Structure formats: structure tokens, C-alpha cells
Structure 1
Amino acid sequence: MTTRRATATATNDKALNAFLAAKREIDGMLVRIKTLSDDHFETNPDEINWGDVGTLNHYAGLLRQITDSAFHEGEHAA
């Protein structure tokens, strides 16, 4: 016989495992982004053009959406 507590624990374990999997995925992406940033996004300073600026501004905008949501800033401010 399955008790309510056992079912809740199993559900929580599944949620925890899914949460940790998503966190590992995010952590991996952050490491890759930091590595790319440390390499100046694979650009040569002598060859920077407005396309590079646009690409970097696009990346910044996407990251801003994430940080605004995570920190309740920008359009996500209360």
C-alpha cells in the first residue's frame, strides 16, 4: 500500500533530480560563456566590426532577460 507521504517523497525526489539536472545544464552553459568571454568571443581586436558589436549586444540582451527575471529587475521588477 502506498502512503500519501511516500508518494509526496517520490514526487519531491523526481522534482529535485529534475532541478539538479537543469542546474547542471545551466552551470555548463555558464562555464562555456565565461570561457568564450575570456577569449573576447573569439574576436581579433584588429578586426572588430559593427557586426561583432551587434552580436555581442544580442548576447547581452538575452543574458539581461535572464538576470532581470532571476533578480526581479527590469520588466520583472515588482
Structure 2
Amino acid sequence: MNTKTTAIDTYLARTAAIHIKVARLRQLADNHFGHNLDAIHWGHAGDLGRVDQALDDLLAIFDDQAK
């Protein structure tokens, strides 16, 4: 019995985990990340700026690989 994990097994498991996290991020974004819009301050805007930059960085990595 071979119980050794292969690269494709790990890749597919991580892809599934990413899909779950992206779906959760979408849910949070649809709910304004749990923030009351009347109480938004620059800290909230800054947090989303960092998230936006991190997503751009990830897209740059994978968009370049797709080319």
C-alpha cells in the first residue's frame, strides 16, 4: 500500500483550500467585512488597501505563469 503523498495530490488539496478561502473572502466582502458603513475610518480603508495590494501581487505571480 502506497501512502506517499504525490505533488499532484498536494496541489489539488491546496487548490481546493484556496477555493474555499476565496469563497469566504467573497462572503466577507459582500458583507463589508462585518463593518458598519457609518463607522468606517481610515484604518479600515488602509486594511483594504493592503488586501488589494496582496491580491494584485498574487495575480501578478499567477498571471505571469499562465503566459
Q: TM-score, normalised by structure 2?
A: 0.82
Structure 1: stretches of 5+ with no match in the other structure: 1-9
Counterpart of 2:25 (choices 11, 33, 37) is 33
| Partner AA of 1:25 in structure 2 | A
Structure 2: distance between partners of 1:22 and 1:54: 29
Structure 2: distance between partners of 1:61 and 1:39: 20
How high is the sequence identity, in percent, across the aligned residues?
Answer: 27
Q: List aligned pairs for 1:34-73, cutoff 5 A.
A: 34-72=26-64
Counterpart of 1:20 (choices 4, 12, 17) is 12
Q: What RMSD over aligned residues (CA atoms) do the two structures have, in Å?
A: 2.0
Structure 2: stretches of 5+ with no match in the other structure: none
Q: How many residue pairs align between the two structures?
A: 63
Runs of 4+ more than 3 Å apart: none
CA positional deviation for 1:51: 0.4
